[in-house]
Amino acid sequence: MKKNISLTLILSFFSLVAFSQREKINNEDENTEIDSVFGNFLLVNSADSSKSFKLRDNSSYTLTYVEHPKDGITRESTYFVNGNIRDLYDTKLDFDVLNESIEQNLYNESTINTTVDYSSYYYSALEQPRSINIKDLQYVNYSSPLRSGIHNVGVGAMIVSSTIVIALAPLLNIKFKGGMSINEAGYFNMTKVGLIGFAAGFPIAYFSKIKRYRVTDKKILNDKDFWYLAKERGY
């Protein structure tokens, strides 16, 4: 009986999350038809231009770029900016920043880490998009809305399954009559179902995690491990 309860919990959670993610993706697709400020940019494989995919405007992504200030204090600054590309040119791009992390490596061997969430308050400097040199870019971390939804299902299944194993299995199988004891058969059955759910969720979460793409200038490198940014035709 309790084995069926835990199995029902996992299956119900899978169904609920999958439905919510599908609705979220459908709504975002509808919004995409209305809002096309972004969404006209591609990542193209440096060695084979037939391999490309669209950076969807209904999900943010992260750019990593490096600058070398001439202030005599900072050796190198690495920026991890999350948001969307506003426009793309030959040597630079304009990026609308939602949040960012900055790692500053100083000449005195110390490191300063700063994280800022611009979505939580007004910041006048972000009224205009940030200009980033293409040559400074290192990576694009991107996951499509569908891939993100699948990832969330996997992570959610792991959380629910862990809850069953750690909390529900012992709690629901404690017997108080005649002194406290554990219903071993029920406990092991629920634990087994939880472990099966965790084992199912882990590969889903792992293989649908955000992918990192190494970025180059399309005029410089011809390598299958590198990608370059391009405008979609018609824009």
What does the pLDDT look like over 155-170, one tens digit per residue? 999 999 999 889 888 8
d(CA 29, CA 23): 10
Tokens of 38: 């972004």
Q: What is the mean pLDDT of residues 199-214?
A: 91
Beta strand 211-215 with 226-231 is: parallel
User: Partners of 112 in the beta sheet?
Assistant: 104
Q: How many CB atoms lie within 10 A of CB 173?
A: 19
Q: Which residues contact 142 (CB under 8 A, 6 or more apart)?
A: 43, 55, 61, 62, 210, 211, 213
Mean pLDDT of the chain: 81
Of the chain, the percentage scoring pLDDT greater than 70 comes to: 77
pLDDT at 34: 34
User: Partners of 212 in the beta sheet?
Assistant: 141
Cα 92 → chain centroid: 24
Do residues 216 and 228 lie in contact, with contact meaning Cβ atoms separated by under 8 Å?
A: yes
Q: What is the mean pLDDT of residues 79-86?
A: 93
Is the model's pLDDT at 19 over the cut of 70? no
Q: What is the DSSP letter of 117?
A: E
Q: 46 versus 118: which is more confidently predicted? A: 46
pLDDT at 122: 61
Q: What is the mean pLDDT of residues 98-104?
A: 94
Is the model's pLDDT at 33 over the cut of 80? no
At residue 11 the predicted structure's pLDDT band, cuts being 50, 70 and 90, is: low
Is the model's pLDDT at 102 over the cut of 70? yes
Is the model's pLDDT at 15 over the cut of 60? no
46-69 confidence digits (pLDDT tens): 999 899 998 887 777 999 999 999
Q: What is the mean pLDDT of residues 141-164?
A: 89
Q: Which residues contact 120 (CB under 8 A, 6 or more apart)?
A: none
pLDDT at 29: 46
Q: Which residues contact 224 (CB under 8 A, 6 or more apart)?
A: 45, 46, 47, 48
